[in-house]
Structures are given as structure tokens and as C-alpha cells.
Amino acid sequence: MKSEDKLQRNSQVTIEISRVIHEPTLLTVISYMYVVESADYISLICLTGLMRVNLSTYLAKLEEANYIVIKKGCQGKKPHTTVRLSSQGRDAFRQY
């Protein structure tokens, strides 16, 4: 019984990881972020072709999964957000 519980838990963990990365749009976003060191919000919109609102939603999901690090700063007086893949995110992408 114990080994069955363990197997069920492991498969649940596997499904969780797959949901985050396996989703096509999230996979696209992570792919672009994997090949660069960091990117700002505007460049991610240009690279992925996503709408602003949609990108915000997807980045929130990735941040929740600790796959990305979002750094909010300023360029002059304008807010400027840069995003980079965390080490956990890079490992997860490589495994995928």
C-alpha cells in the first residue's frame, strides 16, 4: 500500500510539472526565455506575439511555479520590468 501511495504521489508531481511547461503557450514563453539571459516585458510581447493581458497571466503562472524571476525597476521615470528564467525553470525546461 505504501509503495502504491508513493507511486501515486510521484505521478501527481509529474503531472504538475507537465502542466506548467507542457501547455503550448507557456512552453513558447519559456523557450524564448531559455535562450536569453533576461528580457523585458515589451520584448517578450514582440517575441511571443502574445497580447499584454495574456502575457501577464502566463508570467504570473510561471512565477507561481518559481520558474521565472520578475524584477521591477525604473527606466528614468517609467516602470520597467525584466524577466529571467530561474535556475529551477531552466532545469525544468531541460528535463522537459
Q: What's the min distance (Å) between Cβ of 41 and another protein?
A: 6
Q: Which residues bind another protein (CB under 8 A)?
A: 27, 31-32, 34-47, 52, 56, 59-60, 70, 72, 78-83
Minimum Å gap between C-beta 40 and another protein is 5
For residues 92 and 85, is the Cβ–Cβ distance under 8 A? no
**Which residue number, 8 or 46, has a Cβ lying nearer to another protein?**
46
Of 6 and 49, which CB lies nearer to another protein in the complex structure? Answer: 49
Q: Rounded distance, CA 78 to CA 76, Å? A: 6
CA distances from 41 to 38, 68, 95 (A): 10, 13, 26
1/35 with CB nearer another protein: 35
